[in-house]
Amino acid sequence: MHLSIVIPAYNELANIQPLYAEVSNAARSLGRPYEIVLVDDGSTDGSAAALDELADRDFAVRVIHFRRNFGQTAALSAGLRVASGDVIITLDADLQNNPADIPLLLAKLDEGYDLVHGWRQDRRDDLFRRKIPSRIANWLISRTTGFPVHDLGCTLKAMRREISDDLQLYGEMHRFIPILAHWRGAACSEVVTRHRPRRFGVSKYGLSRTLRVLLDLVTIKYMIQYQTSPMRLFGGLGLASLAAGGVAAAATVCMKLSRGIDMTGNPLLLLTVFATLAGLQFFVLGMLGEVCVRTYYECQGKAPYAIRSTRNLDHPFATPQSAEATAA
C-alpha cells in the first residue's frame, strides 16, 4: 500500500526542517512506499526555498508552489490532486499534529473504514481564542448535520484514494472533509490523537474565522439535504408562503364582512400580496435549481451517487454453453 502525506504550509520556515524529519521518520517506520507532498501556499518568509532544498535532497518529497496565498482549502485540494498513493494522510505544517500518530489512523483504516480523522482531545491551544470557539462550532455542526464529530478542525486525517478523488473542495470547506465524505457514502471514524503546543511561528487563525465557519455550515447543510433536489427546500418555503398568504387573505375578508374594516387600508392585505409573490418566487427558484442540478451532473458526466465496489463487470456475457458448464 503506497502512502501519500499531504502537508499545506504557509510561512512555516522555522518548522519545515523538524517537520520533514518527523514525517519522514514516521513514514519510513511503516515499511511502505511513501511520498511527501508539500504545498507552499504563497509563503513570503523563505519557506519556498527551504521546501525546494528538501526536494533536492529527497526524491520522495514533492513540492507545489502557489503564486499567492489561496488558503488551506486550496492547498489541500492541490495536494490531494497530485497525490498518487493508495492512502492519503493530511496534517498541518505547524508541528502541532504529531506524525507519530499516523500508524493509529492507518490501523483504524485497516478495520474497514474509508476515512479516519483525528480528535485533539487534550488540545494545547489558547482557551478563549481557540478551544472554546472550536467546541461551540463542533457542537453546532454536529447538531445541524447529524454527523457525530468532536473535532472537525483537526487536519490530521487518513483517507483512501477513492475518497479523496471524490472530494470537491472550494472556499474553506477543508474542515468539512469528513462530512462531505460521509455524505458520499464513506465509512468514517474518529481516533484520539496527540496535540502539541506551537513552538515556532504564529497561528494563522483567529476568532474572525467563526463567521466563515457558520456561513460554510449553511452551504454544507444545503449540499447534504437539498443539492440534488432543491425543489424540496424552495418548494417547501413556497408552500409555507402561500399558506401564510391564504390565511392573511381569509382574515382580511372576514374582517371586512364581520366588522366592515376597509380592505385597502388593512395591513393583512399587503401581507397577502407579499406572501403570495414570495411563494411564487420560491417555486421559480426551486425549478431553476432543479435545472441547474441536472445541467451540472449531465454536462460533466457526474452521477449523484458513489459506488463502493463492483463485481464481474468486466466478464463477458453468458452463453447457453457457458451456463450449462456453470450448472454442471
- Cell numbers placing 319: 452463453
Rounded Cα distance, 38 and 6, in Å:
6
Find the domain containing 266 and state its range: 231-299
How far is the C-alpha of 38 from the C-alpha of 40, rounded, in Å? Answer: 6
Domain match, 101 and 190 both: yes
**What is the reported pLDDT for 225?**
79
Whether 168 is covered by a domain: the verdict is yes
d(CA 177, CA 199): 27
Q: What is the pLDDT of residue 38?
A: 92
Backbone angles phi, psi at 126, to 5 degrees: -60, 135
Q: How confident is the model at residue 323 (pLDDT cuts 50, 70, 90)?
A: very low
For the domain that residue 155 is a member of, what is the CATH number?
Answer: 3.90.550.10
- Matching residue, cell 400580496: 273
**Residue 235 and residue 221 share a domain:** no
- Interval 225-261: pLDDT, tens: 787 788 888 999 999 999 999 999 999 899 888 888 8
Residues 190 and 276 reside in one and the same domain: no
Place of cell 519510513: 28
Do residues 11 and 47 lie in contact, with contact meaning Cβ atoms separated by under 8 Å? yes
State whether 112 and 161 are in the same domain: yes
User: In 3D, which of 170, 183, 123 has the Cα closest to residue 150?
Assistant: 123
**Strands 87-90 vs 3-9: parallel, antiparallel or unpaired:** parallel
pLDDT at 245: 92
| Residue scoring higher pLDDT (11 or 152) | 11
Give pTM, 2 decimals.
0.75
Are 52 and 165 contained in the same domain? Answer: yes
pLDDT digits (tens, 9 = 90+) for 196-223: 877 776 665 655 666 677 777 787 888 7
Q: Which of 43-47, 196-200, 263-267 has the highest mean pLDDT?
A: 43-47
pLDDT value for 201? 63
Mean residue pLDDT of the chain comes to: 83
In a domain, 255, yes or no: yes
Count of domains observed in the chain: 2
Residues 148 and 295 in one domain: no
Q: In this structure, is residue 306 part of a structural domain?
A: no
